[in-house]
Structure 1
Amino acid sequence: MHLKKLFVLCFLYYTCLAKEEDVLEFSDSDFESRIAEHETALVMFYAPWCGHCKKLKPEYAKAAEDLIRNDPPIALVKVDCTEAGKEACNKHGVSGYPTLKIFRNGEFSQEYSGPREAAGIVKYMKAQVGPSSKELTSVEDLEKFLRAENDVSVVGFFEKETDLKTAFLKLADKLREKVRFAHSTYKNVLEKQGVTDGIILFRPTHLHNKFEDDSVAYSGSAVTGEINDFITKNYHGLVGHRKSDNRNDFQNPLVVAYYSVDYVKNPKGTNYWRNRILKVAKQYKDQINFAVSSKDDFQYELNEYGIDYVKEDKPIILARGAKNQKFILKDPFSVEALEQFVKDLLDDKLEPYLKSESIPESNDGPVTVAVAKSFDDTVTNNGKDTLIEFYAPWCGHCKKLAPIYDELGEKLKNEDVAIVKMDATANDVPPNYDVRGFPTLYWAPKDSKDSPQRYEGGRELDDFIKYIAKHATSELKGYDRKGNPKAEKTEL
């Protein structure tokens, strides 16, 4: 093997190994004694066979590498609940995997409810140590605080005890896991900033640009809710850096530029394209939200728009409208093309993108097959009460339900009821159906298709028949309202 290649492989191996070693592994024999050695520790109780645990493991290792160097250090620990850590897991009420808990000085403190990506874990756990708002005693302290993290900072400047300071510190306690807070009462800091009773949001240096101010001053009243709204409105600026741990901050209508966003290796190239997005965003800042995202980190979102691979360097522009419909800028990226795209989006002139399978040529089985393109015909406008199952081909529960669902369709084929199924992994689900797991079933009465009801009943044939018999708009021909078969009429 080439010596250079061997060196690279060895380097990668030892780098990965070092990251793994930053995660401490405790067992029943040493859990109590070793956890007590750490002022703050995050413990992952896991099972080796658990898919979610396997997905979390590399992110957890990356976070451990960062947090072990924090001041004060934060330990990341793992405990195998199937082998050496069974008793510890039972003692701490672990019933699913992975379960994450925060410990302080050996004692359980709270459940971990933060992100599951490395950057999010680091940010959440750093907020768990020290005060929720860091006190700044000098101008150097302020400058150091603003440079310490590539993140937004919210700083309060207070000459004396005021209602604004009280509201600020109260909000800092509430948002400590999400926002970096600091405050100062020192004269030299206040004079340097020119503020005696106020709050300023500072944007990180790498996001500074000529289209918006590097900092924003709060001008509202001493009300925690108003300060919170100010932070939410200004946190990401005109064009935010949308990442896996903050993606839920960006609300529709939203335009996202996907390209090689990398503020570590290529900040200049990243901002080259972001500045062009900013030029358009400034014109529509009160009407629509804008963001940039790494095309590699969000490949699954590109797939949702039918885009499998992006080779070129230019941004791919995708959008979600106010009604969560999807839109694609089909022309090559340019400032002019983006501006026209946004204008047409706001004027409702764009055709939404719909991920859909082909409409089946034959659809005469006991269960009607719906696809996104035919959903209106097979469900919304079919003139019948409808039970619809949203499923995934790989889902074990869906496979178990399939023969029962087919039998249900056969039993009710002569009724004024449609039994429908749709593959929710290959088709866009209409926005009024909330599908987060499989199978998900909805009952859509024929006269109120805009307000379908989630089916929460049993999944045996008799359960379905009783539910439909009870909720059908008109009484079924073959069953009474309790779901009992009606006696067949005989001729005399």
Structure 2
Amino acid sequence: MFKLLLFCVFAVAIRAEIAEEDDVLVLKKSNFEEALKAHPNILVEFSGRQADDFINWLKKRTGPAATTLTEASAAEQLIEGSEVVVIGFFKDVESTDAQAFVNAAESIDDVPFAITSSDDVFSKYEVTKDSVVLFKKFDEGRNTFDGEATKENLLTFVKANQLPLVIEFTEQTAPKIFGGEIKSHILMFLPKSSSDFQDKLDQFKKASESFKGKILFIFIDSESEDNQRILEFFGLKKEECPAVRLITLEDEMTKYKPENEEITTDNIKAFCTKFTEGKLKPHLMSQDIPEDWDKNPVKVLVGKNFEEVAFDAKKNVFVEFYAPWCGHCKQLTPIWDKLGEQFKEAEDIVVAKMDSTANEIETVKVHSFPTLKFFPAGDDRKVT
């Protein structure tokens, strides 16, 4: 849950009609303006969707969502000073299309918007009719909106073009990557020091042109220590790179691996095409079955023996899904070992563990560590 704090000091007593709980004012949309009038300086805690609503409300309250440009020099300065900027060119800024543009601007807080009816600005950027143009310091340099000017269409246009065709995964770009509308991501793990780095990046970028707005293309420096956890998540090691993987960030994260791992434009396009057509099977990681997997009281499961053990209708199976680096998992280890020791003689009870960073099961999705699941005996068993 996201929280937004406005730091301030209470100044005067609020009007009696605003309710209190434990000496804290309870604010709603209906009384928020009233509270601000009574308290110019106020500390407010927002949570969840309220934070997003407040950002949009604050933008409207403190000034226009789109800067008005009256001179070409002002437009030039705005474009030069921004990585991405969206300008609406409208002969009549009160027109229906212009108002749709302003409404779209009010919904996006990380991209500057501007609006102009100036002939000077129109001429400077060779715009001859009402248009919306996205200027950017990468790829094509600018994109012109083509379609019916509705708030929804304009938002789609901006979100599809505000990021580079290929974006590097960093701490700074992560929020845009994960917070964007595109939930299908193809990742190229490639060391920047590689002699053919630029060639592979060019091949990757060329393939991305065919899937703009559908799949986000990301490259990850596989040599960076900051990225090693990501490699682990995909079951990769530095020496296995360059490599390509695709993942969907929907309710259930699903990974895909190309059959041909040679990084060429044609191979990547073919891989992505199969994905968009629904012709790919998920890639499930699995370690080899250890020779001594059942030697100790706590059995060791991997992808290749999981179903055979966990789905045995004659056994009650309790499994810990863990990550080797997880502190909570390490704290659980002696307790789990003790549990295994207690039931080691029971023929119908199995206590087991599986490293979920290296093994995946299609029927069991693990989103946090440790995750404990119980598979009761019986053909109609329900996992708990």
Same fold (TM over 0.5): yes
Q: Residue type of the partner of 1:399?
A: T
1:319 paired residue number: 246
Superposition deviation, residue 145 in structure 1? 1.9
1 or 2 for the larger relative contact order (CA 8 Å, sep ≥6)?
2
TM norm structure 2: 0.63
Counterpart-to-counterpart distance in 2, 1:161 and 1:382: 70
Q: Which residue of 1 aligns with 2:106?
A: 173
The yes-or-no answer on 1:259 pairing with 2:153 is no
The question of 1:142 aligning with 2:70 is answered no
> Equivalent pairs: percent with the same residue?
18
Instruction: State the shift of 1:375 in Å.
Output: 2.2
User: What do the CA deviations read for 1:356-405 (whole angstroms, capped 9, x no partner)?
Assistant: 36435341654433222322322356665644322245435423642563
TM-score (norm 1): 0.52
1:157-196 counterparts in 2 under 5 A?
Answer: 157-158=89-90, 159-176=92-109, 178-190=110-122, 192=125, 194=127
Specify every segment of 5 or more residues in structure 2 that has no aligned partner in the other structure, as ranges: 1-6, 10-23, 25-39, 49-58
Partner SS state of residue 336, structure 2: helix
Q: Which of 423, 434, 443 is residue 355 of structure 2 equivalent to?
A: 423
Q: 1:285 to 1:199 in 2, by over 3 A?
A: closer
Tell me what 1:377 maps to: 308
Is 2:198 the partner of 1:275?
A: no
Return the alpha-carbon distance in structure 2 between the equivalents of residues 363 and 386 of structure 1: 13
CA distance 1:109–1:188, shift in 2 (3 Å): farther
In the alignment, structure 1 residue 406 sits paired with structure 2 residue 340:
yes
- Please state how far the C-alpha of 1:354 moved relative to its aligned partner: 1.5
Report if aligned partners of 2:143, 2:161 keep a CA contact under 8 Å in 1: no
Map 1:223-262 → 2, pairs under 5 A? 224-236=151-163, 238-242=165-169, 243-248=173-178, 249=180, 251=182, 253-259=184-190
Give the CA deviation at 1:334: 3.6
Instruction: Give the AA of the match of 1:324.
Output: T
1:74-473 aligned at under 5 Å gives the runs: 108=43, 132-150=65-83, 152-158=84-90, 159-176=92-109, 178-190=110-122, 192=125, 194=127, 197-202=130-135, 204-208=136-140, 214-222=142-150, 224-236=151-163, 238-242=165-169, 243-248=173-178, 249=180, 251=182, 253-259=184-190, 273-283=200-210, 288-295=215-222, 296=224, 298-309=227-238, 316-320=243-247, 324-327=254-257, 331-339=261-269, 341-342=271-272, 348=279, 352=283, 354-356=285-287, 358-363=289-294, 365-380=296-311, 386-393=317-324, 394-395=327-328, 396-399=330-333, 401-403=335-337, 405-406=339-340, 409-410=343-344, 413-415=346-348, 418-424=350-356, 426-430=357-361, 433-444=364-375, 452-453=383-384
| 2:33 paired residue number | none
Name the aligned partner's letter for residue 238 of structure 2: Y
Aligned counterpart, 2:27:
none
Within 2, Cα distance between the matches of 1:391 and 1:436?
10
Say whether the 8 Å CA contact 1:157–1:195 is kept in structure 2: no
Q: Would the aligned equivalents of 1:392 and 1:398 in 2 still touch at CA under 8 Å?
A: no
Aligned residue type for 1:216: T
- The number of residues matched between the two structures is 325
SS of 2:73 mapped into structure 1: helix
Structure 2 CA distance, aligned partners of 1:137 and 1:431?
58
Separation in structure 2 between the aligned mates of residue 448 and residue 135 of structure 1, nearest angstrom: 66
* Contact 2:285-2:303 at 8 Å conserved across structures: yes
TM-fit CA distance, 1:112: 10
**C-alpha distance 343-272 of structure 1, shift in aligned 2 (>3 A):** same
| Distance apart, 1:441 and its partner CA | 1.8
Equivalent-residue separation in structure 2 for 1:372 and 1:429 (angstroms): 6
Contact persistence 1:367–1:409 (CA under 8 A): no
How far the C-alpha of 1:253 sits from its partner, in A, is: 4.4
1:369–1:307: structure 2 CA closer, same or farther, 3 Å change rule? closer
- Work out the CA distance in 1 between the residues paired with 2:244 and 2:358: 21
**RMSD between aligned residues:** 4.7
**Contact 1:155–1:183 (CA<8 Å) still a contact in 2?**
yes
Range 182-191 or range 128-137, more displaced: 128-137
The question of whether the paired residues in 2 share the 8 Å contact of 1:329 and 1:338 is answered with no
CA distance in 1, matches of 2:240, 2:319: 39
In the alignment, structure 1 segments of 5+ residues that lack a partner are 1-30, 34-91, 93-104, 114-126, 263-268, 454-492
SS at structure 2 position matched to 1:319: strand
